[in-house]
Structure 1
Amino acid sequence: MELIPALRAFARTFCRSRSDADDLVQETLAKAIANLHRFEPGTNLKSWLFTIMRNTFLSGVAKSRREMTGIEVREAGSGPHAPQEWSAQVHEVRAAISRLPQAQREVLVLVGMLGVSYGEAARICDCAVGTVKSRLSRARVALLVELGEETQS
């Protein structure tokens, strides 16, 4: 139960709508329960769940590409926006993060927001630690550019 907020945050890197993200979390937890016998005690449960989520999402993408029927309907919005400046900034940052390439967005959320180690992120994303560091660096630079901030070279 205590990992659900982290799972929801990670699911939002894959899904634009909250309801789709919640569905992904639910599917992840259902798969984890069904495969609990495969979890190795003493290993990191959060990493295991994140890996299941990532694989579930990627399987769904592959399936939808094969099926490609109809037009994708995007969520029109997530509710009223407060007039405060911070609310606008949060919306701007969230939009900039959503425009990052999927691989960079995953690593940014895992390492930068959820505090997952480089090693854990590498296992979850099925890539080398150096690749995680590179993706994170590129994601940070891209965010600064998107938000109109000066980058230091």
Structure 2
Amino acid sequence: MRDQLAAFLPHLRAFALHLTRDPVRSDDLVQSTLLRAWTNLDHFQHGTNLEAWLFTILRNGFYSEHRKYRQEVEDPDSGFARRLMVQPEQESRLMLQDLRKALAHLSPEQHQALLLVAEQGKSYEDAAALCGVAVGTLKSRVNRARTQLAEMLQMENRHDLGPDRLMQAALQHSKVVAAI
């Protein structure tokens, strides 16, 4: 009976090509059909039509594959998958906690100067006028605050402490805590 399987290959290929309309997929389907038939040959009932049994295996394999792939969405450039990803929040929360602790160690003058420039986006001139100091003094306070924060946070460059969302969130939090 195992020798008869090869005789049905042309008919199986034609049927698979009719179902899939793709020569590569049809060859894969025929191969999986023959593998299933080979492993389940003991389930074949002698005296029945072997070719019909093979066609049934092929058809059922095609339907199973079709149901499986019907749920899939083609995403060649992975754009859809990238939109589904969620970035981990643990690291940014830990960084925010460290930044809040470091901000608490700044002098009130440095903290206020950094708050006006980095969080509120004020110009050095406007921030100096609000603090009642010279522009050079305010720039010095902001510079020293950034340098101290970079040291406390073990950062290589104090300019990494720009007006990003993390810095703004930490400064906003410390402003709320200071008001309480």
- For the aligned pair, the TM-score class normalised by the smaller chain equals 0.3 to 0.5
Larger Rg over CA atoms? 2
Does 1 or 2 have the higher relative contact order (CA < 8 Å, sep 6+)?
A: 1
Which has a greater percent of helix? 2
TM-score with structure 2 setting the length: 0.38
TM-score w.r.t. length of structure 1 = 0.44
